[in-house]
Structure 1
């Protein structure tokens, strides 16, 4: 396999140097603020397996730029609100890259530095999706 020009670890480090990172206790304190939207970019299977932050908005990573861009046919109104957006993934790597990309697009946001991995350990509440009935 050819050597990569840039490793993912280097990409994440460069992103973290230029974005706003929020520590888990600070994000827990923000979760009930009506001016804050916590956005979960993890895969739906991760949310089913590990739970999710109550009140968070789920935006799969693959759709992020399309849902944020008002010129996109996939734009979601939630991203047009004048609120503070805090993105998270499991460990903070995907969300760091995502927020750097959004910043390049002109969309201001922050991310949960350590991701969902420390949320419950540090006292953050979690919910699990309701089980699907056999008729669904």
Structure 2
């Protein structure tokens, strides 16, 4: 394999240097704020297995750039809300860091949950699980 010009770890480090990172305790305190939109970019199976932050919006990582772009046929109205603070998260904060940096490059203002969902419950964050289908 030809050596990579940049590693995924370096991409995360670079993204984190230029985006807003929110600690779990701070996001927990923000959950009741109607101007905060928590966006979960994990795979649907991760949400089913580990649960999710109550009230979070699920936007799979592979579609996020298209869902926030009003010129895309895949645009989702939730991302057109002005004066909202969008906070993206994944499991460990790696995917959401890169996602947030990419969205900022597109002109979409966002932040991310620094440690991701993996330590959310440890910090006292509430979790919901999807209903089991019969």
Partners of 1:98 and 1:11 lie apart in 2 by: 11
Partners of 1:53 and 1:126 lie apart in 2 by: 5
**1:3 to 2:3 alignment:** yes
Partners of 1:20 and 1:49 lie apart in 2 by: 28
| Large movers: runs of 4+ above 2 Å | none
- TM-score norm. by structure 1 comes to 0.97
Partners of 1:125 and 1:22 lie apart in 2 by: 16
Q: Which runs of 5+ in 1 are unaligned?
A: none
What residue number does 1:112 align with? 113
What residue number does 1:96 align with? 97
Displacement of 1:2 in angstroms is 1.9
Aligned length: 133
What residue number does 2:27 align with? 27
Tell me, what secondary structure is at the counterpart of 1:9?
A: helix
Q: Which runs of 5+ in 2 are unaligned?
A: none
Tell me, what secondary structure is at the counterpart of 1:121?
A: helix
CA offsets 1:45-75 (integer angstroms, 9 cap, x no match): 0000000000000000001001000001110
What residue number does 2:126 align with? 125
What residue number does 1:46 align with? 46
What residue number does 1:75 align with? 75
Partners of 1:129 and 1:6 lie apart in 2 by: 37
Cα root mean square deviation, aligned = 0.5
Partners of 1:127 and 1:19 lie apart in 2 by: 28
- TM-score norm. by structure 2 comes to 0.98
